[in-house]
Structure 1
Amino acid sequence: MTVAAKISDTVSRRALLTGGLAGGFLLAFHLPVRALPPAVNEPVQPPDVTDGKFAPNAFIRIDDAGHTTLVMPQVEMGQGVYTAVAMILAEELDADLAQVTLEPAPPNDKLYGNPTFGIQVTGNSNSIRAFWKPLRNAGASARAMLVQAAAQQWQVEPASCTTSKGEVTHTESGRKLSYGALATAASSQSPPKDVALKDPKDFVFIGKPLKRFDTPDKVNGKAVYGIDAILPGMKFATLAACPVFGGKVGTVDDTAAKKVPGVQQIVVLDDLVAVVGDHMWAAKKGLDALVVTWNEGANARISSKDIWEDIRAASEKDGVVARSDGDIAKGLATGDKVEASYELPFLAHATMEPLNCTVHFKQDSCELWTGTQIISRVQSEAAKAAGLPVEKVIANNHLLGGGFGRRLEPDMVVAAVRIAKHVDGPVKVVWTREEDIQHDIYRPVYRDTIAATLSDGKIVGWKYRITGSAVIARWLPPAFQKGIDIDAVDSAVDIPYDIPNLHVEYVRSEPPAVPTGFWRGVGPNNNVFAIECFMDELARKAGKDPVAFRRDMLGKNPRLKAALDLVAEKSNWGQPLPARVGRGVCVQPSFGSFIATVVEAEVDEQGEVHLRRVTSAVDTGIAVNPDTIMAQLEGGLIFGLTAALYGEITIDKGRVQQSNFNNYRMLRIDQAPKIEVHVIKSGEAPGGIGETGVTASSPALRNAIYAATGVALRRLPIDRSLIAGKKA
């Protein structure tokens, strides 16, 4: 741990309310929604709130046995959020962490909407950021009410009582009462209007590298993901959609498929065919035996070449101004001008748990079991597909075997419901890996063009244009204002460097037919790549060391400068390296965190890249669980390095050409570098971490290759033919 930045004791307050709960104490805490711009197979029900005037969107329950339950609106998809959230709650509540359990919240935007987006969603690396203060206030208020109940019973002053591990203790007499014994009495207490939160120096849980709650059950096989849901009499189905975007089913010959043992039914819809069987193998073999012709439609002519021609043409046009400081015309007329363009391809998510959804459709109701980042949207879209009112659809959420933004979409659930309407009884619909990769909602292609001028070793003018999809316009229309996609320009409009004349534009360019969506750090992993690669080119033009060049322009960003200084020290920046080996650096503020990363890599004569070492220094504010932070960064760095080395979805004749891990490669364990993560101790509010490593590794790797070969690559994935035989 490295100490940098002082502890801040400034906190905000949230309104809290108590309500009755038979045999216990219920605390509902209100999560204010920011206004946007002009159990396994059993559904979890929200706690009963007696005051109809107040509709909280998360709840704490304490029962007579002293068990504390948080109904949790955020989902666990490997990021460790359930453990971190429980730690935050237990910290201010002074609960026994072993007695804290979390239940996944049922779909309800009003009760469980994420404060940032106003809907029930897990994404944007904001689970801890969004719920840090509300959870602390809720826990502290609950603790105060329990103390008040104990003090009344003992007829002492509340100030004479202390709390620890789920008990209230009267300091002078040594009397103790457990939270369970006080639960009913606490329900009659009025919530305090203002309650003191702990000074971080008094934290018991927060800041400790505690073991994750979900690890034991994941190891022993008890953990239940969406794909694990099993119902009595359940059938299995798998499907094939038209391989061409937007195509429809033509003819289906199911003669051979019906002869496959275990095949029960063939479901033919307008755009897909599903085979239902006694088990997954029967369904898959039956699908393989189908003879299907497709009406491919106009999109059968679309290719990657066409898409890139379109986006390159669009990038030559003026965009909507997202930010403009100083006089850009004057800035670009001062000093030496440098121009460059950077391109990033379509990417698939390829989550380890394939897409799946189990549905039991009846004429007057529908129940589903899945793993999703958007449970309330899944419920509403399932209701539309089922032709039922929303209240007739029960949506059960489970652990997610990877999200990465893919499970921010309801398409797999909608398809499963459409299939289930033709099946008697429950059916589990599972996508094969091939179907998953070839019918994804892809990370958009982006093209970024930059023009900058240098004077006295610093940037004087900076004109930056982003061209690509507007995912926000489709996914959250109220947030798409004045032609600006807030995700597409993320990390571009808040560039950390001191640049007096700065101009950022956005050009919306939608690829024909190809569906685009969020992919782990969408906007930042696009913009950070372009910005940080260009910074290295500018440093070389200025004749300066890349770290020193950046450092000289971080005067207004001390947290990022501290991370840069630390990573330079820990990575041995500046020390000699063998021929064809280079170090590359990347710094960025992303998702409320400040991270600097150095990648050390070797490029052999054939252009193959060998990862030697990755070092990251991060200031993510108060580290709730440092172990989780390091794990998330390690995983994110590998995720980004994989994309940089191999990630690309290409289109030919309207079809995705990649199909599985043989041609959509993943970084293998023997290729993974040594990774060091240094967490800077900070007193600032927590930042996001799940996507931060992804955005950092690609530009740092490219800059390492630049240092090793002298070749300034400007497109991902890395083209080995351009660096074969090259050395700096």
Structure 2
Amino acid sequence: MSNKLNRRDFIKASTMMGGGILLSFRGNDSVAATLPAEVSFNSYLSISPDNFITIFAPNPEVGQNIKTAFPMIVAEELDADWKNVKIVQAHLDTKKFNRQATAGSGAMQHSWDRLRKAGATARWMLMEAAAKRWNVAHHTLTTDNGWVWHKESGRKLNYGELATEAAALPVPTEVKFKEKKDYKLVGKPIHNVDNADIITGKPIYGLDIYREGMLLAMIERPPFGTKIKSVETAAAKAMPGVVEVIVFKNKVAVLGKSTWQVMNARKALKVTYEPEEAVESTADHDRIMKQLLEKSDVKPSRKEGDVEAVLKTAPQIITREYQAPFLSHACMEPMNFFAHVKQDGVELIGPAQLPEDTRKNVAKLLGVDIEKVTLEMTRMGGGFGRRQRSDYSMEAAELSSLVKAPVKLMWTREDDMRGGQYRPAMRYRFEAALDAKGNWIGYRMRGVGVNSGNSTRPDHFPAGAVPNFQVDSIDHKSPVTTSPWRAPSENFLGFAEQSFFDEIATAAHRDPIEYRLEYLEKAQKEPVGAVKYDIERMKGVIKLVAEKANWGKKKNVYQGFSAYFSHGSYIAQVAEIEKVKGRIVLRKMIAAVDCGVVVNLSGAYQQVQGGIIDGLGHALYGEVTLKDGIPNQQNFNTYRLIRINEIPAVEVHFMDSAINPTGLGEPALPPAAAAFANAFFKATGKRLYNQPFMKEEAMKGVKFGQSS
């Protein structure tokens, strides 16, 4: 495994002040050793003469463990001593870094080889420096835990002793990566590098930011679809600590010296609103989505064969509909951002999943040169897609420009839940045609979303497996703002698809796992159209989870199965329900995961466990409903999350894979609700079609949860 480096992009190799080597590389795969201010790079490391290694983590840390996992890859190829590694969060720098983003579970897929090159190239240069000092051949040397060894003579030097000499050497045109069997860090459980700071309350989050002379701000925002009719601000302005009250862009901001003062002053505002566009309620969305399901002039997203004809003539037709509500992202840390708009530039600090977009949007809003806008990333107390939006950072920047002072904008929990950017509400209709022998010969799915953009995934299974196949996608534009929510669209589509497939298998009198495997074989041997998922990887996780769950062989245990492909990874899950003292108890979730090489075992396990729990909790309880543009759920007393005594045991098994890592932040969520729903059917004979499950007719009279 080797990678050729582009020497045309080599810029300069030099020692840092005081000695040492700093290694970086560009997004186009070139590698160079240089001072950090002189070269564009993605990820880089520095080695000091006292044998400490600093690795800069360029991507936003939202709890997905990227700040630990990225440096692990560099340190692995460097063969470094992890105890001597210091991790530093980098600021946004589009000239030096490539794809500083947390979105779509794509960071690891994008950066795996780049990070390996950084570590492997530094290791080669350190070995070459030792070879020259000892006058021996490079190939006679080895490295181990931060040391270069010449075993024949017994000599060794640590990396710090070689760093200055290594920095003066030419950068190699080709480096070899380690083989998986030689990994010492990758694949092992490594503690999150921020654990100590989190536990001891160090200021690492956006809400911790403080600047001398900073004003605190809160904003009163209108109901969806309305505009301000009148505002009375006198009472708020007269309150202690209030510096300014500003009406701007259909909002009212209160700025002052303390959180408590600003919060109380905002309550003193008197704002009335009037309709600006359609002021929609949940009942309106339900009606509109049902109407759109009947829309005739829809161009299919994918079509194979003639599903219309098959659905008219097949001996058995199965038709089902599934509906999902809006969901809040419910981040533990509400939205916040710091901005200081000065004459010579704009300073931004805060939690952002897409910091480059944030910087661009603020520059455009203020009409300033983007090069004059800096952005410092903080750790995020949750994101789940919400912090891909720049609305809150733009508000902070605009207020700072208006009051000519540094501003920290804060959202309360109620602001966060009233402020929109919800998971889109969606509705699906599925139709399947079976012949007299239970063969699956036709499939049609139509999805409608409220501001979802694309509510369907037309190339997912059973695409390629069923001869007559059609997928339609329809979007309803609404004043209710939405944004990506962990595994966009798939978070509910996974439940709907996998629940429906279970019904098809039941109608065909077949085991649901065997039935899926049969049609995966069909897609493999006789594909109908393009197959854009990896059938072997899908079959692998299905077989593994069936084995680990002892599928169909446990007494007094009701098992439900689901499997899904999302963000490049494949996950199969089995839910296990028991009846205990008259209650339905979800005892265990078993997952088999193929995400390629697992970088940090503990971080990977937490991602899968967290995705499953998040998927179950929101499917059971989560919803945002609206009345005249105002959400009914505005805090955790009405927006129900899963509770600790309701969380099942989660057992995770990773496939032994040598392929490059694929996504993991989102893939575990989509199949979780379906595994539960299919197990619930086994236990009760009742199907679940709408979320939240606890409001379903099938749940009435069912005692769910722990028996004690």
Q: When the two structures are superposed, what TM-score results if normalisation uses the length of structure 1?
A: 0.87
Question: Counterpart in 2 of 1:29?
Answer: 25
Structure 1 counterpart of 2:444, from 442, 460, 463: 463
SS at match of 2:368: coil
Contact 2:189 2:600 in 1 (8 A): yes
Matches for 1:434-445 after TM superposition, within 5 Å = 434-445=414-425
Correspondence 1:303 to 2:303: no
Cα deviations by residue, 1:309-346 (Å, 9 ceiling, x for unpaired)? 22232233354443344554576555532222222221
Question: Counterpart in 1 of 2:197?
Answer: 217
Question: Counterpart in 1 of 2:166?
Answer: 186
Distance 2:272 2:702 in 1: 49
Question: Counterpart in 1 of 2:257?
Answer: 278
Distance 2:655 2:249 in 1: 55
Shift of 1:13: 5.7
Question: Counterpart in 2 of 1:558?
Answer: 536
Correspondence 1:629 to 2:604: yes
Correspondence 1:613 to 2:588: yes
Change (3 A) 1:461 1:365: same
Contact 2:67 2:89 in 1 (8 A): no
Shift of 1:305: 2.1
Shift of 1:369: 1.2
SS at match of 1:692: coil
Correspondence 1:48 to 2:59: no
Distance 1:714 1:312 in 2: 15
Output the amino acid matched with 2:563.
Answer: V
Distance 2:122 2:621 in 1: 50
Change (3 A) 1:682 1:600: same
Distance 2:668 2:449 in 1: 22
Correspondence 1:704 to 2:679: yes
Shift of 1:367: 1.1
Question: Counterpart in 2 of 1:568?
Answer: 546
Question: Counterpart in 1 of 2:369?
Answer: 389
Shift of 1:563: 2.3
Question: Counterpart in 1 of 2:460?
Answer: 494
Distance 2:309 2:155 in 1: 74
Structure 1 counterpart of 2:83, from 88, 93, 98: 98
RMSD, aligned CA: 2.8
Shift of 1:370: 0.6
Cα deviations by residue, 1:633-692 (Å, 9 ceiling, x for unpaired)? 111111111110111222221222221111111111122222222223222222221112
Distance 2:318 2:3 in 1: 45
Question: Counterpart in 2 of 1:480?
Answer: none
Contact 1:238 1:274 in 2 (8 A): yes
Shift of 1:252: 2.7
Correspondence 1:128 to 2:92: no
Contact 1:349 1:440 in 2 (8 A): no
Output the amino acid matched with 2:650.
Answer: I
Question: Counterpart in 2 of 1:478?
Answer: none
Shift of 1:627: 1.3
Output the amino acid matched with 1:377.
Answer: D
Question: Counterpart in 2 of 1:323?
Answer: 302
Change (3 A) 1:102 1:469: farther
Matches for 1:264-275 after TM superposition, within 5 Å = 264-275=243-254
Correspondence 1:585 to 2:570: no
Question: Counterpart in 1 of 2:531?
Answer: none
Distance 2:315 2:124 in 1: 62
Distance 2:3 2:516 in 1: 34
SS at match of 2:421: coil
Structure 1 counterpart of 2:431, from 432, 445, 451: 451
SS at match of 2:13: strand
Shift of 1:536: 0.9
Structure 2 counterpart of 1:262, from 236, 241, 246: 241
Matches for 1:716-727 after TM superposition, within 5 Å = 716-718=691-693, 719-725=695-701
Shift of 1:18: 6.0
Shift of 1:110: 5.0
Correspondence 1:252 to 2:237: no
Contact 2:302 2:472 in 1 (8 A): no
Contact 2:321 2:429 in 1 (8 A): yes
Matches for 1:83-162 after TM superposition, within 5 Å = 83-114=68-99, 120-162=100-142
Change (3 A) 1:461 1:720: closer
Change (3 A) 1:644 1:14: farther
Distance 2:180 2:131 in 1: 26
Contact 1:84 1:624 in 2 (8 A): yes
Output the amino acid matched with 1:264.
Answer: V
Contact 1:18 1:26 in 2 (8 A): no
Correspondence 1:667 to 2:642: yes
Distance 2:621 2:555 in 1: 26
Cα deviations by residue, 1:465-488 (Å, 9 ceiling, x for unpaired)? 33325656xxxxxxxxxxxx4xx4
Cα deviations by residue, 1:339-363 (Å, 9 ceiling, x for unpaired)? 2222222111010001001122223
Higher RCO (CA-CA < 8 Å; seq separation 6+): 1
Change (3 A) 1:523 1:112: farther
Correspondence 1:76 to 2:42: no
Structure 1 counterpart of 2:51, from 66, 80, 89: 66
Contact 2:56 2:88 in 1 (8 A): yes
Shift of 1:287: 1.0
Output the amino acid matched with 2:508.
Answer: A
Contact 2:108 2:662 in 1 (8 A): yes
Contiguous gaps of at least 5 residues in structure 1: 1-9, 34-44, 115-119, 473-484
Shift of 1:206: 0.9
Change (3 A) 1:113 1:324: farther
Question: Counterpart in 1 of 2:527?
Answer: none
Contact 1:249 1:269 in 2 (8 A): no
Shift of 1:15: 4.4
Distance 2:477 2:666 in 1: 25
Distance 1:85 1:625 in 2: 9
Contiguous gaps of at least 5 residues in structure 2: 525-534, 704-708
Distance 2:292 2:580 in 1: 37
Distance 1:276 1:46 in 2: 42
Q: Which moved more, 1:459-468 or 1:332-341?
A: 332-341
SS at match of 1:682: coil
Distance 1:101 1:238 in 2: 37
Shift of 1:453: 2.1
Change (3 A) 1:189 1:312: farther
Shift of 1:276: 1.8
SS at match of 2:674: helix
Contact 1:367 1:394 in 2 (8 A): yes
Output the amino acid matched with 1:337.
Answer: I
Correspondence 1:287 to 2:287: no
Distance 2:438 2:93 in 1: 54
Contact 2:62 2:102 in 1 (8 A): no
Distance 1:59 1:128 in 2: 16
Equivalent residues, number: 678
Contact 1:15 1:30 in 2 (8 A): no
Contact 2:430 2:446 in 1 (8 A): yes
Output the amino acid matched with 1:165.
Answer: N
Contact 1:366 1:386 in 2 (8 A): no
Distance 2:255 2:579 in 1: 50
Correspondence 1:532 to 2:498: yes
Output the amino acid matched with 1:510.
Answer: H
Question: Counterpart in 1 of 2:706?
Answer: none
Distance 1:457 1:558 in 2: 24
Change (3 A) 1:176 1:507: same
Shift of 1:548: 2.6
Output the amino acid matched with 1:135.
Answer: L
SS at match of 1:685: coil
Shift of 1:704: 2.0
Shift of 1:258: 3.5
